[in-house]
Amino acid sequence: MYTLTLTQDERAAFDWVGDRYATGDEVADILREYMDEDDEWSQEGDITFNLPEYAAWIIRELSEKEDSLWPCFAEELTAKMRNFCEEIV
């Protein structure tokens, strides 16, 4: 399992990117599949996603399609997502 924790603002960044890039809606859709039942995407606070290896690899592959740039994301979120992808083995 791979773990990724995102703040409310970080999740909102995925919404803002939307379908402009694969690292927007496509990644957000994957993450939504692995939220706890009690969580809602737009809720306040952090959400921790526990992703199986195959889902983490899909996120990494989507990132690589865009040269791991994570377009339109703030530097901190870009770094967090790059670190997440680099940890996948």
pTM exceeds 0.85 = yes
Confidence at 31, pLDDT banded by 50, 70, 90: very high
pLDDT mean over 29-49? 96
In Å, what is the CA distance from 4 to each residue of 7, 20, 31, 80?
10, 22, 9, 9
> Domain range for residue 56?
2-86
Q: How far apart are CA 15 and CA 10, in angstroms?
A: 9
Domain count, the chain: 1
